[in-house]
Amino acid sequence: MILEKYPADTNDAANRYVNQVGQTLARASDMPETFAGYHFLIQNTQEINALAAPGGLIFVTRGILECCPHETAVAAVLAHEIGHVQSKHGLRAIKKSRITNALVTIGVEGTKTFGGKELADLTHEFEGSIDDISQTLINSGYSRAFESEADMAAITILRRVGYNPAGLVDMLQVMRQRLVPDQADFASTHPSPESRIAEIKAIIGPVTPVKEVRERQIRFESAMNKT
């Protein structure tokens, strides 16, 4: 459903790079493993956005990667999305009524074989759950509280791996300049960059632009075709 809006980017080198950084960060998170593992994919659009589905499927657009002046900023974007996964924000987007209905069906039928009606009921609730999550990710976005929680998780994850959490501020400052008012992108589903920067600085203190490690900058520029 997510890829129906914007297709996958076909730049294999860039996708491998994003996965290399993302997998390293995921292992340092509070949820280093999911049922099917973490997977990172670039979407081929200049729209500035990033999405995290519950099971560890993380999507970042070309547009948001272009807001990243260095690898530490890329890591910050990915760590934020991993924060959503470890906090189970996607699952919490499912309407409680769907979960209740599914549990009632499972509870009533749990001691016998499911019939056609019961399977149909569960399938309906499952499909509805996917719709709930997709609509939240694509259209409405997570709550401000969830976004703040993901930023705080990102700071912790970045520090564990050895990245400067100020990379998140660097990315947001570039994003602030590039966001187009009233456009259906990051601005419509996330708190303003200004408010996020203020909250991050309150946690990590005064920040200066990241001085990227040379080796990181070289591989970043190579993967993003900036050389």
Number of domains the chain contains: 2
Specify the 3-state DSSP secondary structure of 49.
coil
Local confidence band at 88 (pLDDT 50, 70, 90 cut-offs): confident
Same domain (yes/no): 132, 57: no
Boundary-marking domain end, from 117, 136, 155: 136
Output phi, psi for 42, to 5 deg: -90, 135
Same domain (yes/no): 106, 167: no
Q: Helix axis angle, 96-109 relative to 116-135, nearest 10°?
A: 160
Tokens of 208: 């200066």
Same domain (yes/no): 10, 104: no
- In this structure, the strands spanning 57-61 and 39-43 are parallel
Predicted TM-score of the model (pTM): 0.82
Same domain (yes/no): 156, 128: no
The model's pLDDT over 23-49, given as tens digits with 9 standing for 90+, comes to 999 999 999 999 899 999 999 999 999
Same domain (yes/no): 6, 53: yes
Same domain (yes/no): 195, 211: yes
Cα separation of 218 and 58, whole Å? 24
Cα separation of 205 and 42, whole Å? 31
- What are the residues whose beta carbons fall under 8 Å from the beta carbon of 163, sequence distance 6 or more? 72, 75, 76, 79
- In this structure, the strands spanning 39-43 and 50-52 are unpaired
Provide the domain limits for residue 103.
Answer: 92-136
Same domain (yes/no): 12, 67: yes
The model's pLDDT over 136-190, given as tens digits with 9 standing for 90+, comes to 665 556 678 889 999 999 999 999 999 999 999 999 999 999 987 655 555 555 6
Same domain (yes/no): 156, 62: yes
- What are the residues whose beta carbons fall under 8 Å from the beta carbon of 156, sequence distance 6 or more? none
The model's pLDDT over 192-206, given as tens digits with 9 standing for 90+, comes to 899 999 999 999 999
Same domain (yes/no): 152, 43: yes
Same domain (yes/no): 85, 177: yes
97 vs 116, which has greater pLDDT? 116
